[in-house]
Structure 1
Amino acid sequence: MAARATYNPTTPQPHNPTTPQPHNPTTPQPHNPTTPQPHNPPGKSVKTRLKANVAKGELVLDDELTLTGVPAVAWDYKLGNRSALEWVLDQYKEKTPKDATIRERFNPYRFAAYRDETIQLLSKVCTVSVRTQEIVAELAALSPLKAKK
């Protein structure tokens, strides 16, 4: 008599790639950069800017989107000689390699494919910048040593 496989929910089942797996909202889903994004309609080219306007408290991401209301204290948190927000903007800029072969074959990065992730990252960096400045101010108030002016 041949053994028959029966389904028992308590025993682990082998993974079958053809059966759909349940969606787990805590696991990030793979991002397909070739899928058109809703904020970039086909046929319309959106110019990426990635500029910071410290005086107005704005982050200009592209022609369509400007993030406003950035607290002034967020610009005071520096990584080297520039603010953390400016550093993030610089890292996400599209850079064009000089070599034509590299540019053609190995340069698939486009900011539009990572726009939503960049917005989330900028929000987190802004929060960290403001909170860090608050902590530094609290520590300075507790310090028995006063900074010389």
Structure 2
Amino acid sequence: MVRVDEDTQLSGIPADAWRYRLGNRSAIDWVLDQHKEKTPRDPTIREKFNTYRFADYKESMIALLAKVVRVSLDTLAITDAMAALDRSGWEGGDG
């Protein structure tokens, strides 16, 4: 289960979707991190430019998250199938 905010929790995300990684974290974690509200440390920036409110983008973030889950699963299916190929008869193959 993914807790989007205090009012919203998402369930039903397949465990395999968390295996698709962008660097050292899952693509799902990356999306969640990029969309959470962050408060700038500098008081001037916080006062004048801190206009991002997650609530304004929650629905689009959930739609994006659904797409990322789908792409993660599709990509894993492809890469898992490629890894399972018998390449022993291929020229220059290593397996």
TM-score normalised over the length of structure 2: 0.88
Q: Equivalents in 2 of 1:65, 1:95: separation in Å?
A: 18
Deviation at 1:67, TM superposition (A): 0.6
- Give the structure 2 partner of residue 84 of structure 1: 27
- Give the structure 2 partner of residue 129 of structure 1: 72
Q: Which has the higher contact order (CA 8 A, sep 6+)?
A: 2
Name the amino acid aligned to 1:133: L
Question: What is the aligned-residue RMSD (CA, Å)?
Answer: 1.1
- Give the structure 1 partner of residue 63 of structure 2: 120
- Give the structure 1 partner of residue 91 of structure 2: none
- Give the structure 2 partner of residue 102 of structure 1: 45
Give unpaired runs (5+ residues) of structure 1: 1-57
Deviation at 1:143, TM superposition (A): 4.7
Number of aligned residues: 89
3-state SS of paired residue (2:71)? helix
Structure 1 residues 91 and 143: CA distance shift in structure 2, 3 A:
farther
Q: Equivalents in 1 of 2:86, 2:46: separation in Å?
A: 53
Q: Equivalents in 1 of 2:27, 2:75: separation in Å?
A: 11
1:2-17 equivalences in 2 (<5 Å): none
**Identity of counterpart residues, as a percentage?**
54
Q: Which has the higher helix share?
A: 2
Q: Equivalents in 1 of 2:35, 2:86: separation in Å?
A: 38
- Give the structure 1 partner of residue 16 of structure 2: 73
Deviation at 1:137, TM superposition (A): 1.0
Runs of 4+ in 1 over 2 A off after TM superposition: none
